[in-house]
C-alpha cells in the first residue's frame, strides 16, 4: 500500500513539473508548425532514393498545391560501408549512410528562410544470392528515406516560429 502511495505522489510531482516547464506540442492547432501543413512544395529529384525521400516528406509535411508559399529543395547523398567481412573478403553486413542537405525558400521572393542538413545510418544484410541482397538494399534505402524525412520535418516544425509567417 505504501509503495502505491509513493508512485502516486511521484506521478503527480512529475505531471506538475511538466506542466510548469512551458512545454507546448509543436503541432497543436494554431501553432506555426501546424499552419505549415500543406504549405511547403517539395521539389522533384531524380532517382529512386530522391523519389522516396520526397514521398516521405509529403507524408510528413502534407501535399502542397501550386499556391503554396514555400518550396523545399534537397540534395541526397548516400554511401555504403561494409561492416561484417568474411574470411574470403565477402561483405555480409553493410551500413547505408545518408545525408540530406535541404533549403526552404519563399516562392515569391526566392529568399532562403531555412537551410540545414540531416544525416542518418541504416544497415542491411547481404548474402551470396543476388535477389535477396537487392531486396534488402532497397528496403534499407526506404528506411533511410523515412528516417531522413522525419528529421527534416522535425527540424522544420521546431524552427518554423523563427521564419514562417
- Residue located via cell numbers 527534416: 152
Which alpha helices (H) appear in the chain, and where do they start and end? 2-20, 32-35, 48-61, 130-163
Q: What is the pTM of this model?
A: 0.79
Question: What confidence category does residue 82 fall into, taking pLDDT thresholds of 50, 70 and 90?
Answer: confident
Section 130-138 average pLDDT:
88
Q: Which residues contact 62 (CB under 8 A, 6 or more apart)?
A: 37, 38, 39, 40
For 129, the 3-state DSSP assignment is coil
Pairwise CA distance, residues 55 & 62, whole Å: 10
- Sorted by where each starts, the structural domains of the chain and their CATH numbers stand as 26-163 (3.30.160.150)
- Residue 19, pLDDT > 60, answer no
User: What element of type H or E holds 45?
Assistant: none
Q: Are 118 and 151 in contact (CB under 8 A)?
A: yes
Q: Are 127 and 155 in contact (CB under 8 A)?
A: no
Amino acid at each position: 500500500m505504501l509503495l502505491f502511495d509513493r508512485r502516486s505522489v511521484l506521478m503527480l510531482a512529475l505531471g506538475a513539473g511538466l506542466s510548469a516547464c512551458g512545454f507546448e506540442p509543436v503541432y497543436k492547432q494554431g501553432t506555426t508548425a501546424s499552419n505549415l501543413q500543406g504549405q511547403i512544395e517539395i521539389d522533384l529529384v531524380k532517382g529512386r532514393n530522391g523519389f522516396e525521400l520526397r514521398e516521405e516528406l509529403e507524408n510528413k509535411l502534407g501535399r502542397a498545391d501550386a499556391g503554396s508559399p514555400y518550396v523545399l529543395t534537397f540534395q541526397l547523398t548516400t554511401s555504403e560501408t561494409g561492416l561484417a567481412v568474411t574470411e574470403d573478403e565477402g561483405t555480409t553486413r553493410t551500413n547505408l549512410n545518408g545525408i540530406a542537405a535541404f533549403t526552404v525558400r519563399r516562392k515569391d521572393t526566392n529568399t532562403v528562410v531555412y537551410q540545414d542538413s540531416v544525416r542518418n545510418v541504416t544497415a542491411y544484410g547481404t548474402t551470396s544470392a543476388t535477389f535477396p541482397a537487392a531486396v534488402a538494399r532497397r528496403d534499407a534505402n526506404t528506411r533511410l528515406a523515412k528516417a531522413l524525412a522525419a528529421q527534416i520535418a522535425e527540424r522544420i516544425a521546431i524552427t518554423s516560429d523563427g521564419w514562417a509567417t
